[in-house]
Structure formats: structure tokens, C-alpha cells
Amino acid sequence: MTEGLRVVHERGYGGASVRDIVEAAGVPQGSFTNHFASKEAFCLEILDLYFKDVRAMIQRTLRNDSLPALKRLHAFVDAQIKYLNRIGWRNGCLIGNFSAEASEHSEMIRKRLVEIYEEMRQSVAYCLRAAVKLGEVPQKTECDELAGFLIASLQGAILQSKTERNSVPLERFKHLIFSTLLA
């Protein structure tokens, strides 16, 4: 499964064939069809596998009540940058990649992505509500709306960083949210 995730993350939903996936995993093609009804079913599983790691990072950052709220948000963005830097900026975020590519081909994947984005939005909103409670951001802050905007903007910055193969768009995003938007 991990090798299949790597192949799809590197080549994309359309660019990774079942043959590529089983070859990377070192298993016969029949093994794939015994375990998965389709490539779509496999991709739903790897999306969940990928999101499991994202969810763990969210728990360490946005939902970590032992840290001040804005430090949590800062840690969340920094974790994204660190991860993308580690993988060399080429692959981006599987969630964003599937949004751009697979959501047109699979209604099941599209619906799962909507659920994932909602879970991420709720986690950012949770963190922002804590920031309001601590007086780190104004009381009038619309936490749910701002959370949706931040997730969408972050995904755009990740996509642009993937294209440019550097951290500049993400660093710009980070700078602006903390120096202007949340100042």
C-alpha cells in the first residue's frame, strides 16, 4: 500500500497505472484485483492512508491545547513546509493533487475530499476559536469562514510551491496570515 501511495503521489491519479502500482509493490497484478475492486477504490484507500498522517499532524499542532493558539497555527503551516521540503517540493499534497485531478473522474473521491477539507477546516476553526478566547485575535473574528479561507489559501500556496519547487509561496502565505490577516 505504501509503495502504491508513493507511485500515485509522484505520478498523479491519471499518470499512475495499476501496472505501475503493482510493479512498485512487487506483487502480481492479480493481487491488486483481489484486494481492490478498482483503481478508484485503491486511491480512496491511499487517500485515507495519507490523511491519517495529516490528521496526526493536526493533532500535534492545531488541536494541541498545550500550546497557545497562534503558535499551533504557526506549527501547522511549518509542518506543511517541512514535509514538502523533505519530499523535494515535487509532489505537493495528495489531497490538493486529487482535488485538481481525481475529483473530475471519481464522485467517490470528490466526496471524500469534501469530508477531508471539512475536517481540516473544523480543526483550523477550533484553533482560531481558542485564539479568540485567549485574546490573540479580535473577538469579531469569523472563525469558521476564516478557517475555510486559510485552508483554501494554504492548498493554493502548496500547489504553487509544487510548481515553483520552492517554499516561497508558502513562506509568503505564512508571512501574510501572521503579519496582516491575524495581526
Domains of the chain: 47-181 (1.10.357.10)
Q: What is the DSSP letter of 1?
A: -
Tell me the longest C-alpha to C-alpha distance in the chain.
Answer: 58
Give the model's pLDDT for residue 88: 87
Contact at 8 Å (CB) between 30 and 68? no
Rounded CA-CA distance 137/127 in Å is 11
Contact at 8 Å (CB) between 104 and 39? no
pLDDT in tens, 37-65: 999 999 999 999 999 999 999 999 999 99
Rounded CA-CA distance 137/111 in Å is 33
pLDDT in tens, 76-116: 999 999 999 998 898 999 999 999 998 888 999 999 999 99
pLDDT confidence of 33, banded at 50, 70, 90?
confident
Give the model's pLDDT for residue 64: 98
Helix (H) or strand (E) segment spanning residue 12: none
Dihedral over Cα of 177, 92, 54, 103: its sign = positive
Give the model's pLDDT for residue 132: 97
CA nearest neighbour of 26 among 1, 60, 55: 1
